[in-house]
Structure 1
Amino acid sequence: MKKASSVFYISASIIAALVLIGALIPQAFERVTATIQGFLTDSFGWYYLIIVSGFVAVCLYLLVSPLGRIKLGKAEDKPEFSRPTWLAMLFSAGVGIGLVFYGTAEPISHYAISAPSGETGTNLAVREAMQYTFFHWGIHAWAVYGLVALSLAYFMFRRGEPGLISSTLKPILGRHASGGIGKTIDVIAVISTVIGVATSLGFGAVQINGGLSYLFGIPSNMTNQFIIILAVTVLFMISALTGIGKGIKILSNVNMLLAAGLLALVFVFGPTLFTLNLFTDTIGRYLQNFLNMSFRISPLNEENRTWINGWTIFYWAWWISWSPFVGIFIARVSKGRTIREFVAYVLLAPSVIGFLWFSVFGGSAISLERSGQAVISSLATEQSLFGMLAAFPFGEVISVLAICLIGTFFITSADSGTFVLGMMTTNGSQNPNNVLKMTWGALLTAIALVLLYSGGLQALQNTMIIAAFPFSFVIIMMAASLLKTLNREAKELAPAKRRTQQPASKNA
């Protein structure tokens, strides 16, 4: 295939083998993934908590350090996209379907089904539900994305390296970054990306089917989910053919408009004052308990430990598995920005938007449940959003808007995924060819279908946690490589800066 690297053939072969195994022996595939996932979460939960907190520390250091003045590009480089479009693109790629899927489901689950402290249905449960939802979707998540994206953008645009994960490791690996070790790292990144994106596509299909089932009585089953995925595949492939400057850019802006419209409707028709108070109170609790939550592993309470494994460790693995995809995409659209601007916007802006989203949707669901107007916790996860919207005026109309939003997020995530996978398997080309993108689109669809077929949402989650584990070591090396190179550049620039700041000689 034109311009395809050896990484493409190796990773595509591994993914095709996984598709075949999952299709032929789905029950065994689900059992094996469940066993491996259980081992990783039980044995390495502490590891996930430490490294993700470490990523936050690195990002905060770069935010306040003099290194933040360094530009992601040459001195004359200007940003390719306006700031609103840039934020829309990174937000759509970074959270996508997950935000809509869990916007209602996670807070109501923490409140009524399984609370962080084990106490459900109380005032404490309300506060904890929102606090931990903010924690899972806030600064920690974006620190994982931001660190990978920052490393890639710096080495791509500042140092002139190809847009490959392995290229960011040259300061540490030397010539091995271009050899077998580097290719192995790139293959791991590709497989992690495919699993992460496919998982989100599976979530999207399940939720669209859940919405159609709740609203119109269409059965929620594997057949309909397959049809939804195949239909969206056609749409995102059409979008992928138009390139990043058209399809993804337009869809990202549409996503933000739809999301803003849906958010406004729920905010106005919902418990507005309760939402505002809950948002304000939870921001305070989130900041106050930031360190405690970051390292909470609960070694003496097995029930709490199970909750942490099922939620916090799952999310940290999700962000890690998505980080090569989101990182490369954010890097690609961030040329010309300084490190400080990059970290500030990538770390803080999407987090605040997410906090608003969960306060409105999660807060509304909790308010309805507390008042007895609806029992949203009794619904399937994928139907909780629609159960909440049903209690609102014009609930069906708003629910249709929500389905449209899920669909556009679905298309954007898959479109971005094919673009990034194309980059990763063409030696970092910033404009991969369409044939390769179509090939990856087909493989993404196949793996999403197989994961659903072999065990539904649980198989999706199991496989994602497994894929994230090896790539976590790569991110650690990327952080070390970035800091090493930035500090070396700062030392090289310091003498020139001092010379320009010296006062003119009196005898001149």
Structure 2
Amino acid sequence: MLVVSLVVVAVLLLVGVTVPGRLAAGSGTALTWITANLGWAFVLGATGFVVFALVLAFSRVGRIRLGADDERPEHSRASWIAMMFSAGMGIGLMFYGVTEPVTHLMTPPESGIAPGTDAAAGEAMSYALFHWGLHPWAIYAVVGLALACSSYRKGRSGGFSAAFAPLLRGPRGAGAARAIDVLAIFATIFGSAVSLGLGAAQINGGLSRVFGAGSGTAWQVGIIAVLTLCFVVSAISGIERGVKILSNTNMVLAGVLLLFLFVVGPTVFILDLIPNAAGNYLASLPEMAVRTGAYGGTEWLSGWTIFYWAWWISWTPFVGAFLAKISRGRTIREFIVGVMLIPTLVSLVWFSVFGGTAIHEQLTGALDVLASPDQNEQMFALLAQFPWAGVTSVLVVLLVAIFFVSGADAASIVMASLSSHGDDEPRRWLTALWGVLTGAVAVVLLYAGGLQALQNVTIIAATPFLLVMLALCVAIGKDIRSDRLMRPVDAPPLHLEVPEPPPSPQGHRAPRHEALQVPVDD
């Protein structure tokens, strides 16, 4: 499996280096076909995962513990939240926190709403929360739950494909399991490459604006090279010394930046916006959740919603495996509610502060946020409107760098585990190898077509994995139905009456055995 995965990645790297134009053109053609013919599958699939996760959490299934019945969580709740949030979407929030709401404000997603109006502002916040709220975290929760249940409840080993054990039988099942693991690695490396590309671009934007550094692909490649070295060192140090420390640091620094902008920014506007945005999001959720391109808008959907769903799906092997690894001992209900609700609330506050401040500046004419066509500089342009702009801009660069390292090293650890048949402590050289390859893929795709090429390949890689996730839901259902806690508590033991033996030829009866009592269990 390791050899197959390496060969696939090596071939793509070779194509990207030798004929980058063909890679960009080919990925664009494939993307057009996928969004035109399979966009509905991404939309309905993502919404189905939300429904599936909520049903599991609020049914009696929720009391099942991801581990032994008396096992308790290894990590504190604060560290657990920090690690899952940092690995899940740290860089994305830094990159899109300002850009997305203002973009939707000036180019509303739905027809009939005038740009730059209060109605457009409400819709902008609703779609930003739609893309960063319950849907992405439900996608993560489904995979994380499946892997945690398989590893810690059922005691299986064998990597990502072990969660499909209820569906895979015989020699064909073994072949399918290897194919699933390869697909998981393939999706993970390209999903991670998108994050590296976004992070490098934003760091470059900050360095350019604050320190007058140059900008462009060469600078971004240099940033990726330096930070790849950093996250490889962090990854081989393990979760306790590497990812956990960085994630806790992230949470503190992000909280400081958030609080600062809340205080110096339009505080009253933000306070008004938070409940309004939450209400509009929940009210509009049913309509947004099933919106497809049936009546037009396919280009917008492919550039935003479908890209996001594909991005989250491509991240699920490593984020799901990482969530499973840090969530051992928690109940299914605690796991799903924590994974879905807490990050959604954080996203609500984050977009209300950063996106809300940007919307306020745009509506009042204090700043045209979109005046700079370079999305990488829009966050820094907003911070320049307030005191201590130099300090906060440096803080943003530092945050993006740490998010870059913590997310990428988590991905490296998980890919090493996937290619080692689920080994919880993969060999360090293998972890380092996957870290270097992730950086190399990001560099090649940047040269082939920039961030657009990164996004295109991500959607392509995630398409077959959508089917894998649907099969995973079926496997979860089979595992849960067979769990011992799902049987009635007062079910009597099963009695097997042994019939009285016939008399022997000498006229004596053999001794009669007592009825066997077979306890009902797994």
| Fold-level similarity (TM above 0.5) | yes
Counterpart contact for 1:169–1:177, Cα < 8 Å: no
CA distance in 1 between counterparts of 2:390 and 2:363 reads: 22
CA distance in 1 between counterparts of 2:76 and 2:98 reads: 31
CA distance in 1 between counterparts of 2:289 and 2:109 reads: 17
CA distance in 1 between counterparts of 2:406 and 2:171 reads: 35
Partner of 1:332: 325
Q: How does 1:185-334 map to 2 (within 5 A)?
A: 185-300=180-295, 302=296, 304-334=297-327
* 1:239-282 deviation digits (Å, cap 9, x = unpaired): 11211111111001001011101111111111111111111111
CA distance in 1 between counterparts of 2:483 and 2:231 reads: 41
Tell me the percent identity: 43
* 1:324-360 deviation digits (Å, cap 9, x = unpaired): 1100010011100000000110010011101110110
Q: Secondary structure at the match of 1:373?
A: coil
Q: How does 1:43-82 map to 2 (within 5 A)?
A: 43-82=37-76
Out of 218-227 and 174-183, give the one that drifted further: 174-183
Partner of 1:505: none
Q: Secondary structure at the match of 2:167?
A: helix
Counterpart contact for 1:62–1:340, Cα < 8 Å: yes
Q: How does 1:37-436 map to 2 (within 5 A)?
A: 37-117=31-111, 119-162=114-157, 164-176=159-171, 179-300=174-295, 302=296, 304-379=297-372, 380-436=374-430
Counterpart contact for 1:114–1:307, Cα < 8 Å: no
- AA aligned to 1:181 is A
- AA aligned to 2:344 is S
What is the deviation of 1:114?
Answer: 4.8
What is the deviation of 1:116?
Answer: 3.5
Q: Secondary structure at the match of 2:483?
A: helix
The TM-score, its normalising length taken from structure 1, stands at 0.94
Q: Secondary structure at the match of 1:179?
A: helix
CA distance in 2 between counterparts of 1:257 and 1:493 reads: 41
CA distance in 2 between counterparts of 1:349 and 1:496 reads: 32
What is the deviation of 1:20?
Answer: 1.0
Counterpart contact for 1:202–1:460, Cα < 8 Å: yes
CA distance in 2 between counterparts of 1:361 and 1:52 reads: 26
Shift in alpha-carbon separation, 1:360–1:493, aligned structure 2, 3 A = closer
Q: Secondary structure at the match of 1:171?
A: coil
Give the number of the structure whose alpha-carbon radius of gyration is greater.
Answer: 2
Counterpart contact for 1:163–1:430, Cα < 8 Å: no
Shift in alpha-carbon separation, 1:165–1:177, aligned structure 2, 3 A = farther
> Is there any run of 5+ residues in structure 1 with no aligned partner, and where?
1-6, 501-508
What is the deviation of 1:92?
Answer: 0.5
- AA aligned to 1:376 is V
* Residue 440 of structure 2 is aligned to residue 446 of structure 1: yes
Partner of 2:503: none
Counterpart contact for 1:255–1:409, Cα < 8 Å: yes
Count of residue pairs the alignment pairs up: 491
Counterpart contact for 2:370–2:378, Cα < 8 Å: yes
What is the deviation of 1:418?
Answer: 0.7
Q: Secondary structure at the match of 2:169?
A: helix
Counterpart contact for 1:86–1:334, Cα < 8 Å: yes
The TM-score, its normalising length taken from structure 2, stands at 0.92
Out of 426-435 and 105-114, give the one that drifted further: 105-114
Partner of 2:5: 11
CA distance in 1 between counterparts of 2:114 and 2:140 reads: 33
What is the deviation of 1:216?
Answer: 2.2
CA distance in 2 between counterparts of 1:212 and 1:499 reads: 70
- AA aligned to 1:438 is A
What is the deviation of 1:438?
Answer: 0.8
Shift in alpha-carbon separation, 1:153–1:176, aligned structure 2, 3 A = farther
Counterpart contact for 1:109–1:115, Cα < 8 Å: no
What is the deviation of 1:176?
Answer: 4.9
What is the deviation of 1:488?
Answer: 2.5
CA distance in 2 between counterparts of 1:152 and 1:107 reads: 34
- AA aligned to 1:88 is A
Counterpart contact for 2:61–2:486, Cα < 8 Å: no
CA distance in 2 between counterparts of 1:176 and 1:391 reads: 64
> Is there any run of 5+ residues in structure 2 with no aligned partner, and where?
494-522
Partner of 1:470: 464
Q: Secondary structure at the match of 2:304?
A: helix
* 1:95-130 deviation digits (Å, cap 9, x = unpaired): 121110100010011012454436311111100100
* Greater per-residue helix proportion: 1
C-alpha RMSD of matched pairs (Å): 1.4
What is the deviation of 1:496?
Answer: 4.2
* 1:119-175 deviation digits (Å, cap 9, x = unpaired): 311111100100000000000010000000000000000001126221111111223
What is the deviation of 1:315?
Answer: 0.6
Counterpart contact for 2:27–2:457, Cα < 8 Å: yes
- AA aligned to 1:327 is G
CA distance in 2 between counterparts of 1:159 and 1:14 reads: 32
Q: Secondary structure at the match of 1:71?
A: coil
CA distance in 1 between counterparts of 2:492 and 2:89 reads: 46
Q: Secondary structure at the match of 1:172?
A: coil
- AA aligned to 1:112 is M
Shift in alpha-carbon separation, 1:176–1:211, aligned structure 2, 3 A = farther
Q: Secondary structure at the match of 2:166?
A: helix
What is the deviation of 1:499?
Answer: 5.7
Counterpart contact for 2:417–2:425, Cα < 8 Å: yes
Shift in alpha-carbon separation, 1:114–1:213, aligned structure 2, 3 A = farther
Partner of 1:36: 30
CA distance in 2 between counterparts of 1:138 and 1:24 reads: 40
What is the deviation of 1:305?
Answer: 3.0
